[in-house]
Structure 1
Amino acid sequence: MIVRWLREVSQTELQQGYLEACQVAADHQAGRWLVDSRRRAEPDAQMVDWLAQEYLPALKPAIHNLPIHLACLVATTWRPSTSPATPLAALAQTVSDIEQDYQISLFGDEGAAMAWLQEQP
């Protein structure tokens, strides 16, 4: 499944987009997502918390406990230590996949992201 933001969005719009994506994923039992946040540049600690504490824990049961693999597409010029991170990119840098029911990987290339998703069980 591909989730793509084409412009900077508010926290409310971002949450609404993620909730709609969850519904589509539940309808189609989609556990592999490409989340394109290349056009988003604003970090948001509240969104990181919301994703980690509320959204992602609710996503797994919504798709009948399928493994969740999120390929987060970031701008090729983005660098973790020098650039602000989108909420999902920030989460990918701070959360251990072993402790969670999902895997998040960061990519600057859409082809590499899609290849990684296709390799996942």
Structure 2
Amino acid sequence: MVVRWHTEAELEVVQSEYWKMLEVAVAHDLSDWLLDVRRRAQAPVALSAWVNSTFYPEALARLAPRRLRMAVLSSPYMTQQYINDPGHQQQVAYAMDASRPYDLALFENEGDAMHWLRP
């Protein structure tokens, strides 16, 4: 499943979009996702915290027994935020920890992201 965000939105709107994305994934049995956030100028740490604590656990439960695999396609600017901002560092490290019951990887190149998603 490919999801592209083309505009900025308030946290509550993005959360609603995540729930809609999950509904589509469940309805069509899709567990490999490309999330394109390249056009976003920011990613609030609060969103990352919510995704880690609320969304991913629900997505895992709803998609089981399939393993959720997410390739996050990011701009170089956003990648630097993930690397350099302490709040983002903590959330990204948590989300990408190999012990998680899902796979998540960050990419700046769509071809690389799609290749990673291939079984």
TM-score, normalised to structure 1's length? 0.83
- Cα distance between partner residues in 2 of 1:97 and 1:13: 29
The CA deviation at 1:90 is 7.0
Contact 2:107–2:113 at 8 Å: present in 1 too?
A: yes
In structure 1, the partner of 2:49 is 49
Equivalent in the alignment of 1:108: 108
Residue in 2 aligned with 1:75? 75
CA contact (8 A) 2:71 2:105 kept: yes
Partner of 2:17: 17
- Structure 1 stretches of 5 or more lacking a match? none
Shift of 1:40: 1.1
Closer, same or farther: CA 13–43 of 1 in aligned 2, 3 Å = same
Could you say what secondary structure the match of 1:7 adopts? coil
How many residue pairs get matched? 116
- Relative to its length, the structure with more helix (as a share) is 2
Q: Which runs of 4+ in 1 moved over 3 A?
A: 80-85, 89-95
* 1:97 alignment partner in structure 2: 98
Structure 2, unmatched stretches of 5+, are none
Q: 8 Å contact 2:45–2:91 — kept in the other structure?
A: no
Q: Relative to 1, partners in 2 of residues 1:26 and 1:68: Cα closer, same or farther, differing over 3 Å?
A: same
The alignment partner of 2:118 has SS state of helix
TM superposition score normalised by structure 2: 0.84
Does the aligned pair in 1 maintain the 2:34–2:72 contact within 8 Å?
A: yes
Q: Percent identity?
A: 27
In the alignment, the residues of structure 1 paired with residue 92 and residue 104 of structure 2 have an alpha-carbon distance, to the nearest angstrom, of 5
* Equivalent residues of 1:29, 1:64 under 8 A apart: no
Q: How well do the aligned residues superpose, as a CA RMSD in angstroms?
A: 2.3
Structure-2 separation of matches of 1:21 and 1:92: 20
Task: Give 3-state SS (helix, strand or coil) of 2:19's partner.
Answer: helix
SS in 1 for 2:116: helix
